Structure 1
């Protein structure tokens, strides 16, 4: 009897030690970086896996792209899926974590994305600001200041975005950095600033990317830039202490290709999930509409995703084979 109790106690202790690991490995985790376009694609994948495969999927708040990739590569279940891999912005991370020796899978399918600088069309027309080189004119830069006289304010992205580092280089090399305060607030803050500027008829300018709900919400103009030139685009990762000095960018972005990435451990433990992730692809218009539903109409990302899936049965059937 005493031996049986001891055995039971030992077994219970072993199970107690094992349970946290089992519990942690259960849900599939998907990164939610907090901005509407990535939330749209993330929650469509989340709802898809829940409704089509009966999987338990948890959205994990994660605002830093390098941290997302590190978590993917650890293969520990912290983050299993990342639906907003912009190339070439994240190329160095793809090379590091999805290349030789990496533990992350990059799905082959992608959809198009664009990047640049936007202002309101009213501001562009009123002050004749149509080119990125117009921003190097102190008088035109002052249009975007609080008093119309001092340094302008330009949003170059949120902290933690790889594009924000790229924009720091571009602001310098396009010659307007000295005439602007380079702002790195959260996207929600700059969207509120843009909305206020539109209503007040004042100047706003910043980094912009498509797909994005703001193109459906406001009349925006994308400033002209020199066509993308690989020879005029050198970007060194900030892990190098001299990255800013070594980087040089004097042309527009190449149109981006936006992919899904997922952990190697997910591919091994749930190959049926990996098979769907390899088929999932969006259109720029579809993601803009998802983002509009979340950011402008105020829908919860889960609800926006369910509505979109219900409205696009043929697209979903192509992903799932049903």
Structure 2
């Protein structure tokens, strides 16, 4: 019986290892180094891509953790070669610098559509009549989120280092709920654990959410209502670009619909053109990203083990990347 990975390679008409694996002089031991951002779906995706590239192109692939700015800078310098899940417009400043200005990074044009904003468990909407972003400026309604009893209700706005976290701080200032709520930043896994604990106990929870994400598979959540996105109300400057970023920025309407794109180092087009063609054809089903996060977080699956299982069960998806 032919192994699944072998069938993929045969169907793709993969070139021999000798024809594609000649790297530049002085390159690292690995032919390609894939960046791994610090959220579950991105980790799963990076492991899936590692497996597909190794088994179908005969290359040695390493994974390396990094924040968004570090991965982009490394792709620009040639020490890393791929970011599996870039959120746009969250990372617009990095995209503009490295894709548009430097032309050292390439964006895949098969995005996953996404949604982001503040959300609560749906029972909070019904029990406490908290439905709108405007409710966050109401001290009486927000009192249920004062977990430590210090008179300052808490809201999780994201993890340190996420571009969305800075934008959520801008949005809190623009809407005015920074005057009512304690804007908290900490690791996403801690936040999602707190969400799960709150849901199990039927208690209030308020924080930043994005979909696709495993929390929408695991829990019944509702995004708070907001005025429709108006680009004239959005001026976003990231902390890395200006020390006065917060006072110079505004965002007083909903997020524009987000998209998730794979980005890769332009050098792959010259060094491994068949891999570049696969990365250009890459398209991940949106529901798969939520399933990946669910498996890695709530089922505690190892990313490499999950990647093996996912590739074996989604041969048709992988074949699409290899043959288009």
Q: Does 1:267 align with 2:269?
A: yes
Distance 2:121 2:136 in 1: 14
Verify the 8 A CA contact 2:30 2:62 in the aligned structure 1: no
Q: Does 1:50 align with 2:54?
A: yes
Extract structure 1 runs of 4+ deviating beyond 4 A. Answer: none
Distance 1:46 1:30 in 2: 8
- The Cα offsets for residues 252-310 of structure 1, whole Å up to 9 and x where unpaired, read as 11111211111122222111111111011112111111111111111111121221221
Distance 2:136 2:217 in 1: 25
- The Cα offsets for residues 154-194 of structure 1, whole Å up to 9 and x where unpaired, read as 11111111111100000111111111111110111111111
Verify the 8 A CA contact 1:142 1:148 in the aligned structure 2: no
- The Cα offsets for residues 116-163 of structure 1, whole Å up to 9 and x where unpaired, read as 111111222111101111011001221111156711111111111111
Please point out which of 276, 279, 285 is paired with 1:277.
279
Quote how far apart the aligned CAs of 1:23 are: 6.1
Please point out which of 24, 31, 35 is paired with 2:39.
35
Residue 156 of structure 1 is matched in structure 2 by 157
Distance 2:272 2:170 in 1: 41
Please point out which of 73, 76, 85 is paired with 1:73.
76
Verify the 8 A CA contact 1:112 1:283 in the aligned structure 2: no
* Pairs aligned (count): 299
Q: Does 1:59 align with 2:63?
A: yes
Which structure's CA Rg is the greater one? 1
Quote how far apart the aligned CAs of 1:54 are: 2.0
Secondary structure of the residue aligned to 2:158 is coil
With 153-162 and 36-45 compared, the bigger mean Cα shift is at 36-45
Q: Does 1:301 align with 2:314?
A: no
Secondary structure of the residue aligned to 1:99 is helix
* Structure 1, unpaired ranges of 5+: 1-20
Distance 2:31 2:265 in 1: 14
Residue 176 of structure 2 is matched in structure 1 by 175
* Structure 2, unpaired ranges of 5+: 1-24
Distance 1:240 1:300 in 2: 39
- The Cα offsets for residues 204-228 of structure 1, whole Å up to 9 and x where unpaired, read as 1111101100111111111111111
Secondary structure of the residue aligned to 1:156 is strand
Verify the 8 A CA contact 1:143 1:149 in the aligned structure 2: no
Secondary structure of the residue aligned to 2:151 is coil
Residue 212 of structure 1 is matched in structure 2 by 213
Distance 1:198 1:165 in 2: 27
Verify the 8 A CA contact 1:37 1:290 in the aligned structure 2: yes
Verify the 8 A CA contact 2:121 2:220 in the aligned structure 1: yes
Quote how far apart the aligned CAs of 1:40 are: 2.3
Residue 28 of structure 2 is matched in structure 1 by 24
TM-score, normalised with respect to structure 1: 0.89
Q: Does 1:82 align with 2:86?
A: no
CA RMSD of aligned residues (A): 1.6
TM-score, normalised with respect to structure 2: 0.88
